[in-house]
Amino acid sequence: MEAFSDSEQLLFGNGYNNGFVLNNTNKMSSPAAQLYSSIYGRKMELYTDAPSCVLYSGGYIGENHILKKEVISTDHCGIALEAQDYPNAPNHSGFSYSILKKDMLYERTIQFCFS
């Protein structure tokens, strides 16, 4: 965990598992978030109408799970962008949240683009 040694929050959480409020005024017309690999030259863009996004750096993926092509997992072997409503919003004033009741429809648009 030396990569996180200078950040108490990242040490405590074993990496990133943080929610971010999106400045999402353009909704689907521009990316809400991007990930880029300078090693492989790959980019992932997230388009969404969700108000927030959680960045999870895989700190608790665990070891010794067999992945695609017999690769063995380790902590931090993956990363995720999770577009969603505000995490824990019902317990914090000022954040909107959704309560879904029987027979109600919930719709959210999330699009990942890879290049």
Q: What pLDDT was estimated at residue 1?
A: 44
pLDDT at 65 over 80: yes
User: Which of 13, 33, 20 lies closest to 85 in space, CA to CA?
Assistant: 20
Q: How many other CB atoms sit within 10 Å of the CB of residue 43? A: 13
Lowest-pLDDT choice from 31-45, 55-69, 84-98: 84-98
The letter for the amino acid at 10 is: L
pLDDT at 43 over 80: yes
Q: What angle do CA 89, 92, 107 make, to 5 degrees?
A: 20
Q: What is the pTM of this model?
A: 0.81
